[in-house]
Amino acid sequence: MNRYFIYLSYNGKSFCGWQIQPNGITVQQSIEEALSTILRRPISIVGAGRTDAGVHARLMVAHFDSEAPISDLPFLTDKLNRLLPKDIAIDHIVPVIDEAHARFDATARTYQYYITTRKNPFNYDLVYRYSGKLDFELMNEACKSLFDYTDFTSFSKLHTDVKTNNCRIMEAGWKQEGDLWVFTIRADRFLRNMVRAIVGTLLEVGRGKLSLEGFRRVIEAKDRGCAGTSAPGHALYLVNVEYPKEIFK
């Protein structure tokens, strides 16, 4: 068996998330159908994560297996791009060791969330427009609290199938880029809905509705009901997935 990593990006607007489901088109389904057509046999892929409906990826990684080695990976990449819809792009495909796993071998993932306070007819479905004033300096102070904890149950979707809600956050903060404010968060793993829940709660801080101590109490409560409403998915992007060098051939 020969295993390969696919590096890709997608605009999530038209998809019901990454993972295959009975109702609605997903990114995983679209790629599996294209791969199966080209390689002329059923192919399943495993993604590095499961983005929700409407969420985008500037960089997603998935793995698949082929019984025979694929000699021309750039040619396969080109054929996939021709077959896939315009909102999915395959960047490149690389061979990895047989035991490599796109999800379980990832050592870190990075997400970004985009907010603007200015109305723009060209990016309204790619960033979150917030019409009020936000104290981003205070929001960045709240971000520092995230490094002091590992249990993020308060920011997790309820009734998920994970064994632990512990994550190690390595980076979290807001930076201004022109008319946009970009929240970047990097961790060894993320819980379902975690980034959007954190952003929604930070917005409560930025609006003056939640103090820095209150933000800490939300985390310590380990209760999703104590956190803010999840920020909309259309402004969230998976931007990087990291792996150990040893898994690549």
* Residue 148 annotated to the active site: no
* Residue 21 dihedral angles phi and psi, to the nearest 5°: -145, 160
Across the strands, what pairs with 175?
Answer: 182
Instruction: Determine the distance from the C-alpha atom of residue 13 to the mean position of all C-alpha atoms in its chain, rounded to a whole number.
Output: 14
Pairing mode of beta strands 169-177, 128-129: unpaired
Instruction: Confirm if 2 and 68 have CB atoms less than 8 A apart.
Output: yes
Helix (H, G, I), strand (E, B) or coil at 213: helix
Tokens 């999530």 found at: 12
Q: Which of 52, 87, 151, 223 is catalytic?
A: 52
Q: What dihedral angle (degrees, nearest 10) is formed by the CA atoms of 123, 129, 134, 138?
A: -60
**Residues classed as catalytic:** 52
